[in-house]
């Protein structure tokens, strides 16, 4: 399988705090990588470095074979990004916003309209097309963010909390969409989440980071298998707690 | 160019998505004509020209331009959309220039709407049309310089009020340094070089000579270099502190 995301030894300091302290990630075509970790572990910072929004202090990123630091525009063309909180221009109407993104992505005229129509159908945005983004519910806002990220059908997708704020039905729908894009369209997808069941539902791989370092990198099934026998409730919760609260050794096989 | 155009279109239509555009245009038209008629003595002078109209423009821009420029970047930071546009296949120059030209075009639109003043003097007398064209250019260049300053300042903060106040302060200093009262104050004791220097960086020195109807390349270069310099600062600031 081809490696579509290749991050080597990413590091980032904010003042004296080492937010990301040497992260390596290789994500292949068809993989859906669930990115987990407690708040402040460096998830968003890592994703921002993968997309080039933040410059890493050291380390390199390649997206679909293009180095982010030598050819940033070409690398960005091959990537779709849903930033944390799904930011969008509040005064713009949904259709105008998606048209703007399509044009900024280099699609012109009827091609741009066609792309927008396609994504609207795919994400079911038809009923809110004429509304301004500030009037949308949190769920629709998130879906608009997802729509702009996949509009150009990129090989690489970076999604920061794509299902946050969605109701159970919408969550189910978005998860199906993500699984499909990974499995049948062969995209490399990195998504961050706080919902551990989501990792089991859509991800082919789970990476847990803590204090800026990768502490777990394996399949969700094996992650569940690591759970201590006596743990009540969710097995994943127990693993997550044990690896991110310092007793890493006890949790390992 | 195409990419700048895309940013330009989004920004320019953005002005009309809120009441901002309408309020700005009405306030600008109302104040500029009020100043011309009531303070500038448009009718009392008995001359068919637009001097009393244009001479107050830099002072109007002092608080109207920061009102446009304050949101240019501060808003992108506050709503987080900067993360969206900075990861699109657009360069920082595309974004900075697209935003600036949209704001400048908007201020140009405000100026265009004052053309009835021109008709009025043409109806009342025989004005020197060359001087009026020159004055329009001077006014638009002044707005452009202030907008570039405001855009650079807006990129430093996510607080629009801070951006407004700082921009107004910097523009005020630039205006003051060419104001005859200030220059006279320095003339009494400072060496001639200081006075000349202050007058050279002052907006009013260049604005006044253009409003008189003289297009001097140095005046145009003065405004152009202010615009270029502050847009370069703007680009550098955004590049360094995208997240901030």
pLDDT in tens, B23-73: 999 999 999 988 888 887 777 777 777 888 898 999 999 999 999 999 999
What share of chain A in percent tops pLDDT 70? 93
What pLDDT digit, counting tens, does each position of B170-227 carry?
A: 999 898 887 777 778 888 888 888 888 777 788 888 998 899 888 889 999 999 999 9
What is the spatial distance between Cα B48 and Cα B130, in angstroms, rounded to a whole number? 13
Select from B7, B80, B242 the Cβ nearest to the Cβ of A87: B80
B109 contacts: CB under 8 Å, gap ≥ 6? B25
Alpha carbons within 13 angstroms on the beta-carbon side of residue A173 total 14
Strand partners, A18: A13
Cβ neighbours of A100 in B, within 8 Å? 6, 10
Q: Which residues of B touch A (CB under 8 A)?
A: 3, 6-7, 10, 13-14, 17-18, 79-81, 83-91, 242-243
CA distance B166 to chain A (A): 25
Residue A247 predicted with pLDDT over 50: no
Domain parsing of chain A, residue ranges: 3-78+155-251, 85-153
DSSP assignment of A89-156, as one string?
A: -TTSBHHHHHHHHHHHTT--HHHHHHHHHHHHHHHT-GGGTTSBGGGS-HHHHHHHHHHHHHTT--SE
Cβ neighbours of A96 in B, within 8 Å? 13
The helix or strand, by DSSP H or E, that contains position A159, with its residue range, turns out to be strand A156-160
Please identify which residue in the block is written with the tokens 């080039």. Answer: A52
CB atoms within 10 A of CB A2: 11
Strand partners, A160: A192
What is the spatial distance between Cα B164 and Cα A169, in angstroms, rounded to a whole number? 45
Query: Given the DSSP bridges, would you call strands A58-63 and A3-14 parallel, antiparallel or unpaired?
Result: antiparallel
Q: Judge whether A172 and A9 are in contact, CB under 8 Å.
A: no
CA B80 to chain centre: 27
Q: Judge whether A63 and A36 are in contact, CB under 8 Å.
A: no
Q: Which residue in chain A has the smallest CA separation from B18?
A: A91
What ipTM is given for this predicted complex?
0.88
> Residues 53-112, chain A: which have Cβ within 8 Å of B?
53-54, 73-74, 76-77, 79, 81, 83-85, 87-92, 96, 100-101, 103-106
Cβ neighbours of A84 in B, within 8 Å? 80, 83
- Give the model's pLDDT for residue A250: 42
What is the spatial distance between Cα A97 and Cα A128, in angstroms, rounded to a whole number? 12
B186 contacts: CB under 8 Å, gap ≥ 6? B194, B195, B198
Interchain proximity A89–B89, CB inside 8 Å: no
CB pairs under 8 A between A and B: 64
B212 contacts: CB under 8 Å, gap ≥ 6? B131
Strand partners, A79: A156
Cβ neighbours of B20 in A, within 8 Å? none
Query: How high does pLDDT run on average in chain B?
Result: 90
DSSP state of B37: I
Residue A141 predicted with pLDDT over 70: yes
Interchain proximity B87–A132, CB inside 8 Å: no
Helices (H) and strands (E) in chain B, counts: 14, 0
Q: Judge whether A137 and A187 are in contact, CB under 8 Å.
A: no
Cβ neighbours of A151 in B, within 8 Å? none
Is residue A17 helix, strand or coil?
A: strand
Yes or no: domain A3-78+155-251 corresponds to CATH 3.40.50.300: yes
Q: Does A42 touch chain B (CB under 8 A)?
A: no
CA distance A228 to chain B (A): 40
What pLDDT digit, counting tens, does each position of A29-43 carry?
A: 999 999 998 888 889
Is residue A9 helix, strand or coil?
A: strand
What pLDDT digit, counting tens, does each position of A149-205 carry?
A: 999 999 999 999 999 888 888 899 899 999 999 888 899 999 999 888 888 889 999
Q: Where are the beta strands (DSSP E) in chain B?
A: none
Cβ neighbours of B71 in A, within 8 Å? none
The helix or strand, by DSSP H or E, that contains position B240, with its residue range, turns out to be helix B217-240
- How close are the terminal C-alpha atoms of chain A, in Å? 28
Cβ neighbours of B87 in A, within 8 Å? 51-53, 76, 79, 81, 83
């Amino acid at each position: 399988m081809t490696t579509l995301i290749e991050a080597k030894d990413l590091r980032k300091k904010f003042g004296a705090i080492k937010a990301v302290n040497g992260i390596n990630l290789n994500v292949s075509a068809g993989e859906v990588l669930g990115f987990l970790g407690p708040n402040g572990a460096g998830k968003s910072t890592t994703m921002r470095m993968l997309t080039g929004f933040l410059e890493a202090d050291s380390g390199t990123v390649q997206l679909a074979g293009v180095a982010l630091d030598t050819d940033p525009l070409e690398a960005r063309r091959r990537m779709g990004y849903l930033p944390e909180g799904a930011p969008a221009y509040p005064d713009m109407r949904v259709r105008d916003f998606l048209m703007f993104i399509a044009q900024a992505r280099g699609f012109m005229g009827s091609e741009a309209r066609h792309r927008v129509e396609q994504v609207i159908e795919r994400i079911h945005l038809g009923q809110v097309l004429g509304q301004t983004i500030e009037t949308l519910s949190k769920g629709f806002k998130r879906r608009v963010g997802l729509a702009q990220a996949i509009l150009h059908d990129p090989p690489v997708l970076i999604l920061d909390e794509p299902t946050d704020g969605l109701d159970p039905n919408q969550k189910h729908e978005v998860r199906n969409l993500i699984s499909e894009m990974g499995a049948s369209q062969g995209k490399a997808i990195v998504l961050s989440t706080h919902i551990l069941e989501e990792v089991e539902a859509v991800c082919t791989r789970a990476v847990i980071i803590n204090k800026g370092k990768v502490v777990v990198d394996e399949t969700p099934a094996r992650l569940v298998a690591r759970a201590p026998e006596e743990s009540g409730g969710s097995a994943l919760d127990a693993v997550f707690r044990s690896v991110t609260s310092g007793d890493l050794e006890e949790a390992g096989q | 160019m195409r990419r700048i155009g895309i940013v330009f279109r989004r920004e320019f239509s953005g002005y009309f998505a809120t009441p901002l555009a309408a309020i700005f245009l009405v306030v600008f038209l109302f104040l500029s004509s009020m100043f011309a008629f009531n303070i500038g003595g448009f009718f009392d002078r008995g001359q068919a020209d637009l001097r009393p109209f244009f001479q107050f423009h830099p002072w109007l821009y002092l608080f109207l331009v920061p009102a446009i420029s304050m949101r240019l970047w501060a808003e992108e930071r506050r709503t987080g959309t900067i993360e969206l546009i900075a990861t699109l296949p657009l360069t920082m120059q595309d974004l900075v220039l697209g935003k600036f030209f949209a704001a400048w075009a908007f201020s140009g639109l405000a100026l265009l709407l004052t053309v009835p003043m021109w008709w009025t003097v043409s109806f009342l007398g025989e004005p020197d049309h060359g001087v009026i064209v020159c004055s329009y250019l001077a006014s638009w260049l002044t707005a452009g310089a202030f907008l570039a300053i405001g855009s650079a300042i807006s990129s430093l903060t996510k607080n629009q009020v801070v951006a407004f106040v700082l921009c107004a302060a910097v523009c005020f200093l630039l205006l003051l340094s060419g104001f005859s009262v200030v220059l006279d104050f320095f003339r009494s004791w400072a060496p001639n070089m200081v006075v000349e220097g202050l007058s050279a960086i002052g907006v009013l020195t260049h604005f006044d000579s253009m409003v008189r109807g003289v297009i001097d390349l140095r005046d145009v270069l003065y405004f152009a270099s202010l615009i270029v310099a502050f847009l370069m600062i703007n680009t550098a600031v955004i590049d360094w502190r995208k997240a901030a």
